[in-house]
Amino acid sequence: MSLTRRHALALLAATPVAAQARSPRNFRYLAPRPPMGWNSWDSFAATINEEQARANAAVMASKLLPHGYDIFTVDIQWYEPGATGFDYRVGVELAMDANGRLLPALNRFPSAAKGRGFKPLADYAHRLGLKFGIHLMRGVPRLAADRNLPILGARHRCGDIADRVNICTWNSDMYGVDMSKPGAQAYYDSVFKLIASWGIDFVKVDDISRPYHRNQPEIEAIRRAIDRSGRPMVLSLSPGETALTAATHVAEHANLWRISDDFWDEWKLLLSQFKRLADWAPHLRPGAWPDADMLPLGLLAMGKRRTRFTPDEQRTMMTLWSIARSPLIMGGDLRALDADTLALLTNDEVLRVNQHGSEARQLFRTGNQVAWTSRDGDARYLALFNVGETADEVAADLTALGISGKARVRHLWAGSDLPDARGRIAVTLPAHGSALYRVR
């Protein structure tokens, strides 16, 4: 890094965050490293309520925050009073204000009464030392458009801006917003002004990154609305698969973006993430992170089951997400956090790979053998994977890491030093297994 670049970063670090966020060029500094946190979807679907949220936030602050997990996010349908699970019901009443802006359902979030919205829950998270995030769908509620509610701060109405053609195929709550219509930007501005008043730090906008290029006008509108809101917010775009042709545009408007559809605890889905992360690796930059989705660990699916990943697969997922520098967002119910899952999430040497690695890339993929590498100062990280169905030896030449002669090796999952290596590092891995090393 040049001295000029270091000086610029130092000056920015000394600048108040609110002042940084006023410039669209600076929003990436809100996420200088891959975001880490928790999201309610994997464990609560659309049904999380305030009691459950507060209980999970308390565990997160106690057990995960000391290791860097600081973004607590309430996912989809928080505005639907009768949400029941992973499905989306058609034509249901939603909680919203007179200007077509969604509000927390009071039967689920009672502290939102008297116009307080999510502010009491966000304040609780902030007192715990956490940042507070919410999920939003792209567009304007169909109910608001069909009732032609007025847009706050504009002469136009919700029905005037609704795009009734480019709509979500899997959730019927919203119309798109036609950004060519007068009042369209004013609507998005009003939404983000409202959630800024609640103290929102992170917003996940859904149904927007596929098809990406069709939705670019709305992505740009959301970027403007955040910048005008007066509050810094990390912006996450969902779901995938975000087009690689959008790499430059998405990094100019968002902090993280999904690279796949919803990721669940199935080996075939984990296997498919190897190629996606390798394809996106050249586009990593501070403040702009390709997102392989949440970590489906622990108790999932509204308490109905625990993760289907084997212990080896769980470690492989964490190793891949860490070396590839994907955001680390835990999905399981933290009230049932077990010791093994906690240990997997809080290995600080592994987390350093995710948070401080650079130049992350796939080193090779030959048959069922995969290797990744990244750099941390004068050290190299090396991840080895066996994606086959039987045990196999996986090896990497040290010269491929730029290392000649003898090298010191540390096994990061075990937290132990290994004998010095010469020429290569080799290990026999179980099916779907992995190893992660720091090499000097």
Sign, CA torsion 135/139/143/144? positive
Helices of type H across 181-266: 184-198, 212-229, 247-253
pLDDT of residue 18: 43
DSSP structure string for 338-378: -HHHHHHHT-HHHHHHHHH-EEEEEEEEETTEEEEEEEETT
Q: Residue 410: in which H helix or E strand, if any?
A: strand 406-411
Does this model's pTM top 0.75?
yes
pLDDT in 10s for each residue of the chain, 440 residues: 433 333 333 333 334 444 444 455 589 999 999 999 999 999 999 999 999 999 999 999 999 999 999 999 999 999 999 999 999 999 999 999 999 999 999 999 999 999 999 999 999 999 999 999 999 999 999 999 999 999 999 999 999 999 999 999 999 999 999 999 999 999 999 999 999 999 999 999 999 999 999 999 999 999 999 999 999 999 999 998 899 999 999 999 999 999 999 999 999 999 999 999 999 999 999 999 999 999 999 999 999 999 999 999 999 999 999 999 999 999 999 999 999 999 999 999 999 999 999 999 999 999 999 999 999 999 999 999 999 999 999 999 999 999 998 999 999 999 999 999 999 999 999 999 999 999 99
Q: Distances from the Cα of 93 to the Cαs of 63, 188, 207, 311, 341, in angstroms?
A: 37, 21, 20, 42, 38
Strand pairing class (424-429; 392-397): antiparallel
What count of other Cβ atoms lies within 10 Å of the Cβ of residue 256? Answer: 24
Helix axes 184-198 and 212-229, enclosed angle (nearest 10): 50
Give the single-character DSSP code of 285.
Answer: B
pLDDT of residue 12: 37
Structure tokens at 171: 């959730």
